[in-house]
Amino acid sequence: VEFRKGRIQDLALDLELLDRQLKRNPITDVASFLAADELAEELRVKHPLIASDSVDVVVSNCVLNLVEPKSKRQLFEEIFRVLRKGGRAVICDIVSDEEVPEQLQNDPELWSGCISGALTEEGFLAAFENAGFYGIQILKRDAKPWRTVQGIEFRSVTIEAFKGKQGACFERNQAVIYRGPFKEVLDDDNHRMERGKRYAMCDKTYNLYKKAPYSEFFEFVEPIVDVPIAEAKPFDCSRTALRHPKETKRQDYDATTDANNKCCDGGSCC
């Protein structure tokens, strides 16, 4: 285990390295202050504490609410930045069921008690989405509040979110079928899918759905003739479209086959 000194809202700045540099070149006037600011930016770029796309999992427990409100967006962006494509964040924090009023935000005792800086439950989820995460889900939400202050309930909530949906969309004639149990669902890219219908998907989204946390909710339809990614055309992911079976089978598909006697466990489909 290696422990590094840094700030969660600025995981690029190595504070120990900055501290050593400042001991050699202390801040004594405005010019040296500005030089220190330039040094910090140089360290972020050339010697980051945690490099971009370098971490598989980020885990945090009751830390995010201790970060000042103006830095919270940067905090989530930093978590996203350091994760590799396919990486995930598992974050547990104290959140509120209502907005925390200003007088509570300015209470120093409540700050140290994980109250003043709490995001709302909705705001907690939205922060992951705004940073670019996908597959966001609540792993645990305590039914009983950890604490109640002036009628506002504060409780522990654990969120899991993934990085990796960024990138180009290509058409490879793939389709997915939402299995249920709901009549329809709306995904993070505003694709509305009804249960049991076959929907066109780009190669990127198709492969994301084959992984956690989506895979158990979908059936996957591969094309009979593979479309190499090098030959695939761009796919418009802003639309939601049904995919006719002939698009995956080919328009000229006209096969006739014998019955498959293994279609049911007993060897018969009747």
C-alpha span between 212 and 90 (Å, rounded): 14
3-class DSSP assignment, residue 145: coil
Distances (CA, A) of 72 to 61, 62, 99: 15, 14, 15
| Domains of the chain by residue range | 51-162, 170-249
Greatest CA separation found in the chain?
Answer: 88
Residue 219 is classified by DSSP as: E
Q: What is the mean pLDDT of each run of 10 residues along the chain (270 residues)?
A: 82 91 91 90 92 95 88 95 96 96 90 89 97 96 96 97 93 96 94 97 95 95 92 93 87 74 61
- 């494509």: which residue's tokens? 85
Task: Please check whether residue 9 is in contact with residue 63, taking contact to mean a CB–CB distance below 8 angstroms.
Answer: no
Task: Please check whether residue 103 is in contact with residue 111, taking contact to mean a CB–CB distance below 8 angstroms.
Answer: no
Q: Return the pLDDT at 151.
A: 95
How far from each other are the two terminal CA atoms of the chain, in whole angstroms? Answer: 60
Q: Return the pLDDT at 63.
A: 87
Task: Please check whether residue 176 is in contact with residue 201, taking contact to mean a CB–CB distance below 8 angstroms.
Answer: yes
The third-level CATH classification (topology) of the domain covering 170-249 is Ribosomal Protein L9; domain 1 (3.40.5)
Q: What is the pLDDT of residues 124-153, one digit of tens each?
A: 999 999 999 999 999 999 999 999 999 999
**Domain 51-162 architecture:** 3-Layer(aba) Sandwich (3.40)
